[in-house]
Structure 1
Amino acid sequence: MTAPAGGAVGRGSLIRGVLFRIGLTITVILWALISLPSFPLPLRWRYWWITRWCAIVAVMVRYIGGIRIEINGLENRSASPGVIMAKHQSAWETLNLLPWFYPQSWVLKRELLRIPVFGWGLARLDPIAIDRRATRESLRQVVRQGTEKLRQGRWVVIFPEGTRVAPGERGRYQQGGALLACQAGVDVTPIAHNAGEHWPRKGWRMNPGIIQVEIGPRIPTAGRTPAAVNRDAEAWIESAMQRLSASRRPGY
């Protein structure tokens, strides 16, 4: 008697996920050790070298995870860096937006820098590492350091929901990204994607298919309040998420 097709698919996704995470662990350790000599170098040089690991991850996502990328809206990218406000479902978007928005700084929780090996390299990329418990100080830090990163010609990537949310769910959109954009006088670029359906935030599975990414029209900030900018970003992202969910094909 043959096993149900769904069970075979489930086992395949689990095998892919286990192999992917083994590869992830091996490559992050090796790349961190190989990158040690780059740590004293100027930021521009060490940033280029350390982030080559993200390209390795992209290859593993494609050939181990069986996941392809489909991106729309590249024409909406600004010629100069601004603030990116992106949906946060997976680890994918923290690593794989670099080809389209380079270089970039991430707003992330400080605890990530304490992860052995991985945290060493991450710290040398000069992120905006905040203590999420100190809300007011964290907000000031995002605006202060984010403005400096933008002046240096780097995109600032913010996940306004603050943490990863499962597909179909929606977190509270915090105003830090919109406040930074308004204070720095740059536009907001909203990004929606369905990476959580393929590289889930929990569990071991990697589900083959297509990660669909949508880059939205730039949201201007001149003469506007952070609350208004934040509402526009949330409305566009969540509307795009509904379109992505509705267009999902069986098996993906």
Structure 2
Amino acid sequence: MIWLRNWAFMLVFYTISVPIVVTVPISALFGSRAVIVHSTIWTRFHRWCARWILGVHIRIEGTRPTEPAFYACKHQAMFETLELQGLLDGPAIVLKRELADIPAWGWAARRYGAIVVDREASAKAMRNMMREASAAKATGRSILIFPEGTRVLPGEHPPLKPGFAGLYRALKMPTVPIACDSGLVWPKKGPKLPGVITFRFGEVVPPGLPREEAEQRVHAAMNALD
């Protein structure tokens, strides 16, 4: 039954996603707001497929701020990269350059307001990332980063990448760590399982703290579900 659900999910989600993704550049012609709406439609469709085909439910714990914030989320699966787009009302997402360089889609992602980060983390790349994040903040949007840099297995707690500290210092926004346990039902390898994925909004970390303290508080809250 689990494999049958997975095959049905892949058939329905990816078949319908093709025209949605292919037409993103058309929405991008009308600016970032249109791309955000377009993306929200896709993420809601993804949630519907996860719920009704795979049997994956969402549980929200904690309270997120009503004002724009800097969100730092645990990254265990592709699931949260889509789910948080809708859950956080279209935040500007820190995106690795490899994705931003995909023809057409990458251009649309930039129109959406994605903040491109270079994994080499050169000084120039860091300055560009902070400039793009500051521009997004100026428009009243929240910023979302997966500060571990890549997907990790449940129970793994790698240190935060330098980009987090740079953005925390530059943005001067309330920072909200998000713990999630998506890897338990949405593994990187093997079938997706029915169950509950929890997103837990941690205590707000105020701007202006010393780097070590800010990173420690965010890192601990991000891993609160492990």
The verdict on a shared fold, with TM-score over 0.5 as the criterion, is yes
Alignment of 1:3-14 (within 5 A): 12-14=1-3
> In the superposition, relative to structure 1, how do residues 35 and 163 fare at CA in structure 2: closer, same or farther (>3 Å)?
closer
Q: 2:213 aligns with which of 221, 225, 228?
A: 228
Pairwise CA distance, 1:35 = 3.8
CA distance in 2, matches of 1:19, 1:119: 28
Aligned to 2:26: 37
Of 30-39 and 110-119, the range deviating more from structure 2: 110-119
Contact 1:85 1:233 in 2 (8 A): yes
Aligned-residue RMSD, C-alpha: 2.0
Contact 1:105 1:128 in 2 (8 A): yes
> In the superposition, relative to structure 1, how do residues 43 and 129 fare at CA in structure 2: closer, same or farther (>3 Å)?
same
CA distance in 2, matches of 1:178, 1:56: 34
Pairwise CA distance, 1:118 = 5.2
> In the superposition, relative to structure 1, how do residues 36 and 128 fare at CA in structure 2: closer, same or farther (>3 Å)?
closer
> In the superposition, relative to structure 1, how do residues 152 and 106 fare at CA in structure 2: closer, same or farther (>3 Å)?
same
2:10 equivalent to 1:26? no
Contact 2:73 2:144 in 1 (8 A): yes
Aligned to 2:131: 144
Aligned to 1:97: 84
Pairwise CA distance, 1:228 = 2.0
Of 16-25 and 113-122, the range deviating more from structure 2: 113-122
Pairwise CA distance, 1:79 = 2.5
After superposition, the C-alpha distances for 1:127-173 in whole angstroms (9 at most, x for unaligned) are: 01222124433322222111111111111111111000011112221
Of 82-91 and 168-177, the range deviating more from structure 2: 168-177
Gaps of 5+ in 2: none
Q: 2:53 aligns with which of 64, 84, 87?
A: 64
CA distance in 2, matches of 1:237, 1:36: 34
Q: Which amino acid aligns with 2:177?
A: P
2:73 equivalent to 1:86? yes
Contact 2:154 2:181 in 1 (8 A): yes
CA distance in 1, matches of 2:212, 2:129: 16
Q: Which amino acid aligns with 1:227?
A: E
Equivalent position SS for 1:64: helix
TM-score, normalised to structure 1, is 0.82
Pairwise CA distance, 1:114 = 4.2
Contact 2:174 2:205 in 1 (8 A): yes
Gaps of 5+ in 1: 1-11, 243-252
Contact 1:175 1:230 in 2 (8 A): no
Aligned to 2:225: 241
Contact 2:24 2:105 in 1 (8 A): no
TM-score, normalised to structure 2, is 0.90
> In the superposition, relative to structure 1, how do residues 201 and 103 fare at CA in structure 2: closer, same or farther (>3 Å)?
same
CA distance in 1, matches of 2:120, 2:176: 27
Equivalent position SS for 1:146: helix
Aligned to 1:208: 194
After superposition, the C-alpha distances for 1:210-230 in whole angstroms (9 at most, x for unaligned) are: 1111101110123x2233211
Report the number of matched residues: 226
Pairwise CA distance, 1:27 = 2.1
Aligned to 1:160: 147
Q: Which amino acid aligns with 1:44?
A: R
After superposition, the C-alpha distances for 1:80-128 in whole angstroms (9 at most, x for unaligned) are: 2121011000011111013431120111111113446754643432201
